[in-house]
Amino acid sequence: MENESKNSAVVLDVKENVGVVQIADDVVAMIASLAATEVEGVSAMAGTITNELMGKVGMKKLTKGVRVDVVDGKVRVNLAVTMEYGYNIPATCHRVQAKVKSAIENMTGLGCTDVNIRIAGVKLK
Protein backbone atom coordinates (compact mmCIF):
# COMPACT_ATOMS: atom_id res chain seq x y z
CA MET A 1 0.00 0.00 0.00
CA GLU A 2 1.61 3.27 -1.10
CA ASN A 3 0.20 6.55 0.18
CA GLU A 4 1.53 10.05 0.58
CA SER A 5 1.77 11.17 4.20
CA LYS A 6 1.42 14.72 5.54
CA ASN A 7 4.97 14.63 7.00
CA SER A 8 6.76 14.66 3.62
CA ALA A 9 7.09 10.91 3.81
CA VAL A 10 5.62 8.06 1.83
CA VAL A 11 4.14 4.93 3.38
CA LEU A 12 5.83 2.02 1.64
CA ASP A 13 4.34 -0.91 3.50
CA VAL A 14 1.68 -1.57 6.13
CA LYS A 15 1.60 -4.91 7.95
CA GLU A 16 -0.89 -5.64 10.70
CA ASN A 17 0.72 -6.47 14.05
CA VAL A 18 4.14 -5.41 12.74
CA GLY A 19 4.05 -1.70 11.89
CA VAL A 20 4.45 0.79 9.08
CA VAL A 21 7.44 1.50 6.82
CA GLN A 22 7.78 5.13 5.75
CA ILE A 23 10.45 6.89 3.74
CA ALA A 24 11.01 10.65 4.02
CA ASP A 25 11.21 12.76 0.88
CA ASP A 26 14.66 13.95 2.04
CA VAL A 27 15.89 10.36 1.91
CA VAL A 28 14.70 10.02 -1.69
CA ALA A 29 16.46 13.32 -2.46
CA MET A 30 19.67 12.05 -0.85
CA ILE A 31 19.52 8.86 -2.96
CA ALA A 32 19.10 10.99 -6.10
CA SER A 33 21.98 13.29 -5.12
CA LEU A 34 24.41 10.47 -4.38
CA ALA A 35 23.50 8.60 -7.58
CA ALA A 36 23.93 11.73 -9.71
CA THR A 37 27.38 12.56 -8.30
CA GLU A 38 28.59 9.00 -8.98
CA VAL A 39 28.32 9.64 -12.73
CA GLU A 40 31.61 10.59 -14.37
CA GLY A 41 31.44 14.17 -15.59
CA VAL A 42 29.25 15.43 -12.75
CA SER A 43 31.33 17.59 -10.45
CA ALA A 44 28.73 18.21 -7.74
CA MET A 45 25.15 19.09 -7.05
CA ALA A 46 24.66 22.83 -7.53
CA GLY A 47 25.52 24.64 -4.33
CA THR A 48 27.06 21.64 -2.60
CA ILE A 49 30.36 19.87 -2.32
CA THR A 50 31.79 16.95 -4.25
CA ASN A 51 30.89 13.32 -3.58
CA GLU A 52 34.16 12.58 -1.74
CA LEU A 53 33.20 14.97 1.06
CA MET A 54 29.48 14.16 1.22
CA GLY A 55 29.79 11.60 4.00
CA LYS A 56 31.16 14.25 6.37
CA VAL A 57 28.26 16.69 6.16
CA GLY A 58 24.63 16.65 7.18
CA MET A 59 21.67 15.57 5.06
CA LYS A 60 20.68 19.17 4.24
CA LYS A 61 23.95 19.61 2.34
CA LEU A 62 23.42 16.32 0.54
CA THR A 63 20.01 17.30 -0.74
CA LYS A 64 20.84 20.83 -1.84
CA GLY A 65 20.18 21.18 -5.56
CA VAL A 66 17.56 18.39 -5.47
CA ARG A 67 13.78 18.73 -5.36
CA VAL A 68 11.67 15.59 -5.03
CA ASP A 69 7.91 15.34 -5.42
CA VAL A 70 6.25 12.05 -4.48
CA VAL A 71 2.60 11.64 -5.46
CA ASP A 72 0.72 8.33 -5.49
CA GLY A 73 3.94 6.32 -5.24
CA LYS A 74 5.49 8.10 -8.22
CA VAL A 75 8.63 10.21 -7.88
CA ARG A 76 9.51 13.31 -9.89
CA VAL A 77 13.07 14.56 -9.37
CA ASN A 78 14.54 17.93 -10.32
CA LEU A 79 18.33 18.16 -10.10
CA ALA A 80 20.67 21.13 -10.48
CA VAL A 81 24.21 19.91 -11.20
CA THR A 82 27.65 21.32 -11.88
CA MET A 83 29.37 19.53 -14.75
CA GLU A 84 33.09 19.01 -15.26
CA TYR A 85 34.55 20.76 -18.29
CA GLY A 86 35.17 18.54 -21.33
CA TYR A 87 32.30 16.07 -20.92
CA ASN A 88 29.45 15.75 -23.39
CA ILE A 89 26.53 17.33 -21.56
CA PRO A 90 23.62 15.44 -23.24
CA ALA A 91 25.33 12.04 -22.89
CA THR A 92 26.31 12.69 -19.28
CA CYS A 93 22.78 13.84 -18.45
CA HIS A 94 21.31 10.66 -19.96
CA ARG A 95 23.62 8.62 -17.71
CA VAL A 96 22.58 10.69 -14.68
CA GLN A 97 18.89 10.20 -15.49
CA ALA A 98 19.30 6.44 -15.82
CA LYS A 99 21.40 6.13 -12.65
CA VAL A 100 19.06 8.27 -10.52
CA LYS A 101 15.94 6.49 -11.79
CA SER A 102 17.48 3.07 -11.14
CA ALA A 103 18.73 4.00 -7.67
CA ILE A 104 15.38 5.39 -6.55
CA GLU A 105 13.39 2.46 -7.91
CA ASN A 106 15.76 -0.21 -6.56
CA MET A 107 16.20 1.30 -3.10
CA THR A 108 12.65 2.51 -2.40
CA GLY A 109 10.35 0.43 -4.60
CA LEU A 110 8.72 3.65 -5.81
CA GLY A 111 8.33 4.36 -9.52
CA CYS A 112 10.36 7.25 -10.88
CA THR A 113 8.54 9.05 -13.70
CA ASP A 114 10.80 12.07 -14.32
CA VAL A 115 14.43 13.01 -13.70
CA ASN A 116 14.82 16.61 -14.86
CA ILE A 117 18.31 18.11 -14.92
CA ARG A 118 19.39 21.75 -14.94
CA ILE A 119 23.05 22.45 -15.63
CA ALA A 120 23.92 25.15 -13.06
CA GLY A 121 27.59 25.48 -13.97
CA VAL A 122 30.75 24.00 -15.40
CA LYS A 123 33.82 23.33 -13.25
CA LEU A 124 37.16 23.95 -14.87
CA LYS A 125 39.94 21.52 -13.99
Global pTM?
0.79
User: What's the pLDDT score for residue 9?
Assistant: 77
More confident residue, 81 or 59: 81
Which pLDDT tens digit goes with each residue over 7-59?
477 777 666 777 777 888 889 999 999 999 999 999 888 765 544 444 555 55
Q: Print the domain residue range for 117.
A: 25-123
In the chain, the amino acid numbered 114 is D
Residue 114: half-sphere exposure toward Cβ, Cα within 13 Å: 13
Q: Return mean pLDDT, the chain.
A: 82
How many structural domains comprise the chain? 1
**CB-based contacts of 78, cutoff 8 Å, min separation 6:** 66, 67, 68, 116, 118
Residue 66 lies in a domain: yes
Residue 33 inside a domain? The answer is yes
Do the domain assignments include residue 10? no
Q: Which residues contact 33 (CB under 8 A, 6 or more apart)?
A: 45, 48, 54, 62, 63, 65, 66, 79
pLDDT tier, 4 (very low <50, low <70, confident <90, very high otherwise):
very low
Rg of the Cα atoms in the chain: 15
CB-based contact 31:65 (threshold 8 Å): no
Q: What is the DSSP letter of 48?
A: S
